[in-house]
Chain A
């Protein structure tokens, strides 16, 4: 509780400008994030075409590199499941892992599948691609043989990358042809306003996909025994999953602090919390969250590059990372939502 005396003498007169925060979110994070991701996906799709036309070791390497870049760029936009992305369930079709190898094999063998069906969620996106270009056979030459000998394999690879491209382009185009304005204009305080929905989506992403998906689930936090093979990018020879995790956490943090790598700093949740703190003479929530984020970065630095090996060899470091991530959940879900008057799940219900 604030004990600094009555704030009535130093009351701030200007309102926090939610609309300019939304503008900064759109122009500094969401749209350039999707643009960068789209470019990487375009490249991935090109490399995939080249590889399918001519399956050589060099072209395999090229598609693998393009896959890593795209996967990495994805970490910066996965949290923005709002608008078109929400409508299309972009995240579900892009990054649900572990991928379903049996389903992929079945799809490839029969050659008949509809990737738009929910039942095929676990047979597409990056995890399926990861399997197709790294894990489908033991050695690179054996992988190449699969594609040289089977047009079904080629088709499936092409269909996956084409679908990712279509989805991404749809989302990006929607943002640049009107949704940006809709998003910024809905700057009110209602449960379905842009700030409320974005913060809910942001927190949901953090809890489910960053904290749970990348760290808690493979380390067995929710299952009792570790599920080491449930790490992201499981099949990659060069382990990239820690890199992806760090990338996603950095993006998550930069969004909170309003530090855009494209347009520099601007209005943010942290600034909003500071504004409310002065207004209500309340607790330093952004400070608490910053400290917790610093701690996550310190603890995460101890993780090895391959989270799969980390779980197998010394899971305690994974569990320590989960504990550090969980502190942020508490401060954001309880303190931040409470201070910013944001209702959970943007559902209206009567109160007293």
Chain B
């Protein structure tokens, strides 16, 4: 009963419309920035080899056609903002953006994952029923009110991102040793005003603890009306500070804009009015007093099930590391897709040895012959990439006419400033191991 009552609650559709427009705009800026920095060529065309996710090795860059994927992705963001052929646009955006992220595991970032997650969610929400080209053209589509849950799920998703990022910070190194911030902060010693403070130990502790408290508390402070304005101010300060300290690109701006969803619809209407002034189309046409609710025929029932299942998965996936033994930071089994942001300083070297199993003849590989320095850096500390690269080397040298090829790696990794230690068992032939969801017992104990 109560659930049905909740599901039938409505709120202004302006909230979703404002979110849609700003989201599309930020994505467009992000993509243009990516192109302008020359990263398409550097990351997706120049390398000879790309790291894949399990089951997605078919997702590869397409040479010069990769630019086309980016172009389609960029066009779809315009469709999203304008609400023009919205469903097609958001589906296209989700597919192309996710395809791009899956082309090479090297570039994995939580904030790219966040964008895929948001885009997926937005496929199923009535984002284009208000102040959009679609709803302008099609009167049947036009509504002033949408189910409240369709706005709340965006808040919930943002809440998950923050809260889980906060939970991940509740660990010994972060809180007791102020690591890795103690290593990172002195690197920004040349910042104006605060630069000199960043080498102080207490500052690293202050940042570590306040970062943890911020992540855990901010969703609730944004939800509760009395604290909302202050909370948003903190959001802005926090993200701009991280932007100044770390090379995190567009992420801070994206988070700042997304958290606007926590405000009342009045704020979103004001945002739309500002946009209306620029483009000269008022939103009055859309104020038709109509609403769609979950249980009447206006809005597809199945959407709510898809969104529900998706959110339950989002709650569970970050905990999958509990299925693996050993130190999570060391093995990184279950590390990705879990909102573990800026949690460790890890670096390593991996030298691959190619051995002829019959004759014992051996030689080492120069990684720069096959990988970019960025790929080499990422591969050196991540076991799944190490084994994938080992397979690539195995196939490469077998095709070259070498026989009975075995692949061994001598690898060392430093984690959070501890002196580097052996990482992968150097006696294991990695050509015989595979990247699976099972535990990788050839990673040495931390």
Contact = CB atoms under 8 A, between A and B. Distances in A.
Interface string B225-263: 000000000000000000000111111000000000000
B229 to A, nearest CB: 28
Given A15-B199, A334-B412, A1 B177 contact: yes
A93 B247 CA distance: 36
Contact of A8 (B111, B188, B201): B201
Given A279-B199, A349-B374, A338 B417 contact: yes
Contacts of A334: 347-349, 380, 412-414, 420
B199 A1 contact: no
Contacts of B67: none
Interface stretch (B55-63, B361-369, B425-433): B361-369
B404 interface: no
A187 to B, nearest CB: 8
B374 A347 contact: yes
Contacts of A284: 419
Interface in A305-329: 326, 329
Contacts of A188: 190
Given A1-B417, A12-B199, A352 B341 contact: yes
B420 A335 contact: yes
A36 B189 CA distance: 36
Helix, strand, loop or mixed for chain A's interface?
Answer: loop
Interface residues of B, number: 59
A276 to B, nearest CB: 7
Interface stretch (A123-131, A217-225, A231-239): A217-225
Interface residues of A, number: 49
Interface string A1-45: 110001110011001000000000000000000000000000000
Interface stretch (B122-130, B178-186, B320-328): B178-186
A187 B380 CA distance: 29
Contacts, number: 134
A351 B364 contact: no
A225 B362 CA distance: 8
A281 B187 CA distance: 15
Contact of A338 (B202, B345, B373): B345
Contacts of B298: none
A344 B187 contact: no
A280 interface: yes
A341 interface: yes
B105 to A, nearest CB: 14
Contacts of B377: 344
Given A189-B190, A338-B345, A350-B247, A8 B205 contact: yes
A285 B419 CA distance: 7
Instruction: Kindly list the 9 A-B residue pairs having the minimum CB-CB distance in the complex, ordered from nearest.
Output: A341-B187, A350-B249, A345-B373, A282-B417, A224-B363, A338-B347, A283-B419, A8-B201, A280-B182
Given A1-B417, A326-B351, 6 more contacts: A2-B177, A15-B199, A338-B183, A338-B417, A350-B250, A352-B341
Interface of B: 37, 39, 42, 107, 109-111, 177, 179, 182-184, 186-190, 196, 199-202, 205, 246-251, 341-342, 345-349, 351, 354, 356, 361-366, 373-374, 376-377, 380, 410, 412-414, 416-420
11 contacts: A8-B202, A15-B199, A189-B190, A220-B363, A221-B363, A224-B362, A224-B363, A280-B179, A283-B417, A334-B420, A351-B247
